[in-house]
Structures are given as structure tokens and as C-alpha cells.
Amino acid sequence: MNILLIYPEFPDTFWSFKHALKFVHKKSAFPPLGALTVAAMLPKEWKMRLVDMNIRDIKAKDLEWADYAFISGMIVQKESALEAVKICKGAGLKIVAGGPLFLSEHECFPDVDHFVLNEAEITLPLFLEDLSKGTPKRFYTSTEFPDITRTPLPRWDLLNMKKYVSMNIQYSRGCPFNCEFCNVTSLFGHRCRTKSTEQIIAELDVIYRQGWRAGIFFVDDNFIGNKSKLKTDLLPALIDWQKKKRGITFLTEVSINLADDDELMKMMVDAGFDMVFIGIETPDDSGLAECSKKQNRNRNMLEDIKKMQRAGFQVQGGFIVGFDSDTASIFQRQIDFIQKSGITTAMVGMLQAIPGTRLYSRMKDEGRLIGLTTGDNVDGTTNIIPSKMNKETLHAGYRKILNEIYSHKGYYQRTKTFLKEYKQSPKGKSKLQFSHFMAFLKSIYHLGIISNGRYYYWKLLLWTQFRKPRLFPLAVTLSIYGYHFRKVSKQNVA
């Protein structure tokens, strides 16, 4: 059996980093970890070929070779997924689909032959068993949460690592919190299920043996969901692993209560973590209460962020406008908070209701849904009818935020605010490569010569060179990120 694994293309979004990728001659930020993991669950005798549409197109020879097409993706990849299904159907291929996109919007894909939904550790074996009998069903779903200590090593051999900026790895699934707008708990549950430390070290060893020496993204929705196990098990092993294998840094997603645990922060930094994404959402307490973001309430979030920056973390943040409790003052308050925080990577979006969330159910009951979400957090859309603020005020305020925080002046000032606070750990400093030097030269041309923000670019680099010379490479990197964010923001504002 020949299996064509297809991963749809990401549109030009905040997290695609498409405009930044050009500086380092990469095609995609992250590889399709889900597809590689599914590949490892298929029969060993089957032949497999991966087409990541972010890297290359589906070719006629791929379609002629394959017996089945396996497609996975997220909601934001919907348009590309529709195109992939059309191409495969036109070639007469049987199509198997899974992942968050198909779980929530399978009715939009009538040409898919089989949906293998929820977590593949449970549903994929059921499909394979029926397929071997010649009686495969159209839908396979489950409400069970599998033991992921049995999840096999992803098939990294199917991947051309040179095309990517970062590799991916997963330690846990699930989150102890229950934010109203988030579908993580409906997908993966409240209890944080983890892989064994031996699994993680084995995965890292495979990635390292294939020559990878750059960053690795732990894709957990909340990496610190089980703090005690991290402290006693995984982090000590990662610290030991780093002593033997140098040059690897980690990034992940955490909740803001990381700032409450000095020991955990130190252990994470010692293990090589230098970047964390946190759902800040809003500086307004009534908004936090509305969405059940209890972990963010009754604390000084600005001080928490600066504490993490001083501990050795670059803090990325997610922000939302459009809560029922929001008034017209929220837009300037968001701008002020973001600028003071020094969060350079600030993802700001309008509130969206995702199928499977408590918010979606509430909006449906209240008759306030407008179709489906796009899955793009920063495209300036919402599928919710506001209850108090009119749509014009919401859209105008949203545009105001993006215009200010990603203006040349606003972004470079915020980057300087971060660099003043940041205490980089020696373990978090990546080794400079030739590609970094070439990226710097490209930044000089695109940001320091032809850009109308060149004054702010040179001002930041000169300040960094004289005040924080160890952080000069980081200042260049963040300047390039700003170029991407500015491009995407302008598209969304337009």
C-alpha cells in the first residue's frame, strides 16, 4: 500500500512567518508533527511519501504512485485542504482525513471517503482493522483519551529538515484550565496526559542524529500543566541531555502562573527553554472573569511578564478584544499594556467562537453566531455578533491596536523595552551560523535602507550594540519578525 501524506498550506498569517522566512531561505516555520506521528502508526510494510504543501506542490507522479491520500490540518488551513481534496479526488484517490479542521467542519468535505477523527491512537487502529477486512466506515470518532506513553516515535525520516526553521515535539495533551473560548479541553481533556521522559529523550536523540541544531517547539497547549512531574522527571533529564548535546533551544506554551514558581523557571531555563507563549487575553479583569481565565486574575500580569523576562524567557503573548464586557476604552488599554510589557510577538485578535467550546454553545443559544470561524486569530474577523459594542467601533478599535503596536515606532520601542529587561541565559544563546549572517545582511537592505522605518531600525541596533552587545543577534531577529508582523497587520487592517 502506498500512502501519500498531505499537509495543507498555511495562508499568510501571523504565525506563518512567511515574510520572515525569506531572510533565512526557509520554506516553513514548523513541520507537520501530526502527519509524521500518524505515519509511524501505519503498518510497517506500507510505503509512505510526505507532501507538505508549505514546501512543495502535489505532483502528478505523487498521485500516480499513491493508493490512498491521508490529509490532516487545522481550521486555518481549510482553503488549501479543499484544494488538496479536489486534486486527490480528481486523480481517483481514496481520501482519509483527520485533525481539528475535519473534526469541526467535516460537512464541508463531501469528497472525503473516511474521517478518522479525535486522537489517532484510538481511532486509526479501528479504521485500519476495518480496512484490512474490506469494510471501512466513513466516520471514526471516540470520546476516550488515549495513553500517549504508547505513541510511537514520529517518522522524521520522511522530512527534509533543511526546509524548516524549527522542529516540533509533544510532551503532553490536555490543560487543567477551562477558558470559555478555548477548545483544548474539549479536544484533549482537563487532565494533562504526558509521554514518558524516555520517549521525549528518544525523540530528541533522533532529531539530533539527523543533524538538527536549531530550536525545537514543544507544542503542548500548556507545558506546565503537571508541574510536579516536570520538576522531578522531565526537566532533570533535559538538563542532563543538554550537557551532552549543545546548541538546541526550546520554546513552548505555558500559563502565566509559571511566574509564581522560581524553581520551575530556573529549571526550564537550565534545560534550554528561552521562549514561552502565554495567553494574556486582556488587562481588564471583567473580561478575564467573563471567559473564565481565572489563572490570569488577581495578579500583576505586567510584573509577572517582566519577572519571566528577567529569568531568561522571551515572552510571546496572545490578546483578545470583543468580550461582552469590553468598552471603547479597551483598545488603548491593550495598546498600553502591550507596549509596557515588552512583548514583541503580540498576537491580537477579535474573539472568535470555535466549535466545541463553551463560548460556541453560548453564542449559539443566544443566536449570536455568524457562520464558522476562519481559524486565523489575527485576520480582523469574528463570527460573533457583539452584544454591546457595535461592529464598527470594534473593527475601528482593532485596527487602531494593530496600527500602533506594529508601527515602526511602536514595535521598535517595545523591542527596546524587552531588551532592557531580558537576562539571556548562556544556555539560551544559539550558535551563530552563516545563514544568520546572511539574514543580517538582508535586514540591512530591507529594514535599514529601503524601509521608511530605517531610522528606528538603526536606532535599535546601535543602542543594542553599545548597551546590550550580547543581544545584538536577537535584536536583528526581532527586527525581522517585526517586518513580518507589519506586513500581516497591514493586510488585516486593509
CA atoms within 13 A on the CB side of 38: 30
Residue 493: what pLDDT? 76
Residue 428: what pLDDT? 58
Residue 351: what pLDDT? 97
Domains of the chain are 2-140 (3.40.50.280), 166-421 (3.80.30.20), 426-482 (no CATH)
Residue 433: what pLDDT? 75
Q: What phi, psi does 362 have (nearest 5°)? A: -65, -45
Residue 244: what pLDDT? 85
Report the alpha-carbon distance of residue 349 to residue 41 in Å, rounded. 36
The single residue listed with the C-alpha cell 531588551 is 419
pTM, rounded to two decimals: 0.96
Residue 7: what pLDDT? 98
Report the alpha-carbon distance of residue 66 to residue 455 in Å, rounded. 54
The single residue listed with the C-alpha cell 538546541 is 248
Residue 429: what pLDDT? 61
The count of other CB atoms within 10 Å of the CB of residue 388 is: 11
Segments of the chain scoring below 50 in pLDDT: none
What interhelical angle do 408-421 and 454-467 show, nearest 10? 10
Answer for the pair 230, 183: CB distance below 8 angstroms, yes or no: no
Helix (H) / strand (E) element for 208: namely helix 197-209
